[in-house]
Amino acid sequence: MKASVIGAGGKAGGEINLDDGVFGVEVSEGAIYHAIRNELANRRVGTAATKGRSQVTGSNRKPWRQKGTGRARAGDRKSPLWVGGGTIFGPQPRDYSYRMPRKAKRVALRSVLTQKGMSQRITVVDGVSAPSGKTKDLVSQLEATVGGARCVWLVDGGDQQLLRAGRNVPWLKMCPYQTPSVHDLYYADRVLIDKTAASKMVEQFAEAKR
């Protein structure tokens, strides 16, 4: 599969062939769905909580006698039927995270990268840098090519000044190629990949030969 290249200074650098072992596989929409669902579940904090009738502050005294008043019988003011009473079956703190098989995650990653490649939304970055660490220097190189579109940039992680320059761009998310997010890649308008990271991704995520 071919992808366009951004060269030094943000100039177009032609095209490059990407390995079909990662960027040209059979797309599994089911794997993408389950990977996104897993990532979103693992991000949940799970701190929602309500008080039951045993936790609500109040008296245990019976508000009125059982018989003879004409009113419905009542045990205490903490009953869920009363205003200010406890909540019936309300949420309690819990862990929503669960484990997804590694092979299934890799199938999802290859599938979403293949989708982006088929729609010509993958760009390989070769030589783009920001030695000053300033955001404006990086944006000036990228805006002509990506035009402020929602981007995910898979980086090799060695250039700390580049990471510093990119962390404050609202439409750009930089993440290591070793731990890409299927959710972020799926909803990105453009995917940028370091040239060195693209070759290393083949070694790490390529579909095993049978």
Predicted confidence at residue 13, as pLDDT, reads 75
Domain that holds residue 187: 2-45+99-205
pLDDT digits over 182-197, tens only? Answer: 999 999 999 999 988 9
Name the phi and psi angles at 28, rounded to 5: -115, 100
pLDDT digits over 27-73, tens only? Answer: 999 999 999 999 999 999 999 999 999 999 999 999 999 999 999 99
> How many other C-beta atoms are found inside a 10 Å radius of the C-beta of residue 109?
22
* Percentage above 70 pLDDT, the chain: 99
Classify residue 194 as exposed, middle or buried by CB count within 10 Å of its CB (0-12, 13-18, 19+).
buried
Among 77, 81, 96, residue whose Cα is nearest residue 37? 96
Do residues 164 and 134 both lie within one domain?
A: yes
Structurally, how many domains does the chain consist of?
Answer: 2
pLDDT at 210 over 60: no
Do residues 74 and 33 both lie within one domain?
A: no
Do residues 37 and 70 both lie within one domain?
A: no
What gap in Å lies between CA 210 and CA 205, rounded to an integer? 15
CATH number at residue 150: 3.40.1370.10
What gap in Å lies between CA 8 and CA 28, rounded to an integer? 35
Q: List the single range of 59-63, 167-171, 173-177, 206-210 with lowest mean pLDDT.
A: 206-210
Q: In what order do the strands lie in the sheet with 190-194?
A: 12-17, 2-6, 122-125, 190-194, 151-155, 172-176
Provide the terminal-to-terminal Cα distance of the chain, rounded to the nearest Å. 21
| Structural domain contains residue 210 | no
Do residues 114 and 198 both lie within one domain?
A: yes
Name the phi and psi angles at 138, rounded to 5: -75, -45
Q: What is the DSSP letter of 10?
A: G
What the block records as the tokens of 200 is: 């290393």
Among 141, 162, 156, residue whose Cα is nearest residue 198? 156
| Structural domain contains residue 17 | yes
Among 170, 140, 185, 147, residue whose Cα is nearest residue 22? 185
pTM for this one? 0.84
